[in-house]
């Protein structure tokens, strides 16, 4: 019996479709990874692809600064849903290289101690895992699922829920006042915490989480506040008043962004001039606080901006090399921080150069405009040199308690 050529071709095509669907269905049934979820607060925008049974590729999306070509991708936070016991072989990549000051980054994720990735089965206890940087600049991770779902993140998560719990713990305490100073571009409250009599000799302003991917500053701030509660209860620190901004970049934290606000603002830039209250209310309210304190005769003695980066240095404002008092003061502060085991990286001095262009970071802007001493405190996101360990929320909280004791001793001198 002979079949016409056309009928034969159709029969072969139908058999191919049937066979393909049968194979594909079996492959789908075999998949142990069920879903990747990032639709929750601080979840990171990403693309994902299951390469085979258990190989997962994560591609991270950048966020952008509105007035420049700058973009950055350093945050991830997502949930894997899979069968317990599944071996996960995972790569994490940036879809586009970062752009910093208008120039594409030539290096990332290739630091001596590597880039950790934190794992949690309860979104509370975070366990650091060591990644490997591949030749294509992807991070590679290999582990076995102990439950049906697991969260992976760049750093131990400090969310709006964490912040609200901390604020609730100090609400109504003697010696503390929570002040709503404004709202973010998306309508979230911007809180200040004031602790101490504003008429005392020294006022210190500390801000955390200007950049959303940097929760280390929040953990340091929480440790600082916990120690401050004890100090106020013991009637210590009578000569110190603190204004604390616990989470500046709330919108970016909620959205799982890396560096900028949803309106494209970098909260550690633009400090050489006044801020637009609509485009950048997060900086506008802090700038207004500084102006109000100066106008009322309570000019701050120090402003500290808490950050994370891959190196962990302190960045001092640009000064003249001949400023002996500044040098002596900072050497004294550095000595205290190193003695307390709080700090083990570099104090980066910046000496004024006649050819230097204006630098609009917070420490330089505040010094230039108001004559207030300020520095940016970068907490190493990869390795705590002094402790010889990968960072943890607990260690950062200890560093926060230590920072309060350092400032107490520094100003008592």
pTM equals 0.92
pLDDT computed for residue 356 by the predictor: 63
- CA 280/CA 371 separation, integer angstroms: 23
Q: Which CATH number describes the domain made up of 160-412?
A: 3.40.630.10
CA torsion sign, 377 to 382 to 386 to 387? Answer: positive
For the chain, domain boundaries: 31-153, 160-412
The answer to whether the CB of 259 falls within 8 A of the CB of 266 is yes
pLDDT computed for residue 9 by the predictor: 53
Whole-number percent of the chain with pLDDT over 70: 91
- Which among 52, 406, 18 has a CA at the least distance from the CA of 227? 406
pLDDT in tens, the chain (413 residues): 454 555 555 555 444 544 444 444 444 445 789 999 999 999 999 999 998 777 899 999 999 999 898 999 999 999 999 999 999 999 999 999 999 888 998 778 888 888 999 999 999 999 999 999 999 899 999 999 999 999 999 999 999 999 999 999 999 999 999 999 999 999 999 999 999 999 999 999 999 999 999 999 999 999 999 999 999 999 999 999 999 999 999 999 999 999 999 999 999 999 999 999 999 999 999 999 999 999 999 999 999 999 999 999 999 999 999 999 999 999 999 999 999 878 889 999 999 986 665 579 999 999 999 999 999 999 999 999 989 999 999 999 999 999 999 999 999 98
The answer to whether the CB of 11 falls within 8 A of the CB of 34 is no
SS3 327: helix
CB atoms within 10 A of CB 294: 14
Fold observed for domain 31-153: Immunoglobulin-like (2.60.40)
User: How far from 244 is each of 111, 165, 178, 190, 203, CA to CA, in Å?
Assistant: 32, 16, 9, 11, 11
pLDDT computed for residue 353 by the predictor: 83
The answer to whether the CB of 399 falls within 8 A of the CB of 220 is yes
pLDDT computed for residue 108 by the predictor: 84
Task: Please report where in the chains the tokens 């802090």 appear, as a residue.
Answer: 286
- CA 124/CA 126 separation, integer angstroms: 6
Helix axis angle, 393-412 to 216-233, nearest 10°: 50
pLDDT computed for residue 28 by the predictor: 45
């Amino acid at each position: 019996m002979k079949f016409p050529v056309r009928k034969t071709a159709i029969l072969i095509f139908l058999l191919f479709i049937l066979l393909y669907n049968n194979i594909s269905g079996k492959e789908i049934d075999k998949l142990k990874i069920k879903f990747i979820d990032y639709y929750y607060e601080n979840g990171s925008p990403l693309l994902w692809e299951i390469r085979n049974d258990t190989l997962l590729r994560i591609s991270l999306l950048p966020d952008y600064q509105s007035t420049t070509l700058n973009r950055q991708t350093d945050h991830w936070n997502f949930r894997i849903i899979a069968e317990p016991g599944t071996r996960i072989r995972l790569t994490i990549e940036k879809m586009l290289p970062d752009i910093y000051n208008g120039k594409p980054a030539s290096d990332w994720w290739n630091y001596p101690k590597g880039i950790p990735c934190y794992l949690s089965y309860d979104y509370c206890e975070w366990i650091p895992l060591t990644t490997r940087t591949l030749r294509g600049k992807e991070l590679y991770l290999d582990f076995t699922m102990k439950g049906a779902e697991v969260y992976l993140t760049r750093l131990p998560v400090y969310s709006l829920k964490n912040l609200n719990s901390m604020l609730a713990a100090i609400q109504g305490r003697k010696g503390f006042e929570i002040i709503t100073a404004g709202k973010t571009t998306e309508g979230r409250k911007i809180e200040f915490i004031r602790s101490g009599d504003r008429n005392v000799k020294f006022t210190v302003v500390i801000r955390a989480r200007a950049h959303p991917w940097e929760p280390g500053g929040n953990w340091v701030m929480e440790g600082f506040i916990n120690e401050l509660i004890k100090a106020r209860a013991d009637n210590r620190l009578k000569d110190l008043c603190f204004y604390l901004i616990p989470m500046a970049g709330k919108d970016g934290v909620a959205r799982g962004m890396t560096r900028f606000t949803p309106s494209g603002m970098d909260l550690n830039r633009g400090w050489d001039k006044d801020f637009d209250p609509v485009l950048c209310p997060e900086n506008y309210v802090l700038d207004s606080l500084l102006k109000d304190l100066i106008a009322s005769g309570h000019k701050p003695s120090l402003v500290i901006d808490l950050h994370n980066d891959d190196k962990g240095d302190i960045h001092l404002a640009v000064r003249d090399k001949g400023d002996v008092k500044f040098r002596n003061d900072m050497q004294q502060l550095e000595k205290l921080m190193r003695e307390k085991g709080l700090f083990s990286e570099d104090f980066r001095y910046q000496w004024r150069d006649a050819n230097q262009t204006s630098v609009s970071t917070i420490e330089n802007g505040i010094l230039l405009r108001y004559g207030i001493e300020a520095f940016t405190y970068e907490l190493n996101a990869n390795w705590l040199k002094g402790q010889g360990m990968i960072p943890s929320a607990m260690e950062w909280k200890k560093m926060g308690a230590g920072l309060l004791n350092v400032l107490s001793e520094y100003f008592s001198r």
